[in-house]
Structures are given as structure tokens and as C-alpha cells.
Amino acid sequence: AREARGVPQIQWASIAEAHQKISENELSCILVGGIGFEPMKPRGQLVYSQSRLTTSVPTLESLL
């Protein structure tokens, strides 16, 4: 059997705090946060996935 690690009280405290804030804030602010799910754009210029591309896709002509 595996032993539990960490301090579970901290997790329960976070859940309890979120339940208290539901009446104070909109539910979407509690679940998502201020920025959202996707990472912010690097330097505010490119879409994140485009900035991660390191190589170009070869064309059929370049392979022949």
C-alpha cells in the first residue's frame, strides 16, 4: 500500500475558501482565475503555438 504524502489540510482549506468566495465572486473567476486556461502570448505578438514551432514542414518538392 502507498502512503499519503503532503499536507491534505492545505487542500481542504483551499476548497473551503473557494466555497466561501462563491457568494462574493462570480463562479467563473473562482474556477478559471484572471487570465484563463491558455498561456499568455509571448511578448504579446504571436499565438503561443506558432512561437513554439522550431522547424518548418518540408514540402514534397524538397524531399525529391
The count of structural domains within the chain is 1
- pTM (whole model) above 0.85: no
pLDDT of res. 17: 79
Residue with cell 473562482: 30
Residue ranges making up the domain that contains 39:
8-63
Q: Is the pLDDT of residue 57 over 70?
A: no
- What is the rounded CA–CA span in Å between residue 59 and residue 31? 43
Answer yes or no: is 16 within a domain.
Answer: yes
- What is the rounded CA–CA span in Å between residue 32 and residue 36? 6
- Name the band, by pLDDT with cuts 50, 70 and 90, for residue 15: confident
Answer yes or no: is 3 within a domain.
Answer: no
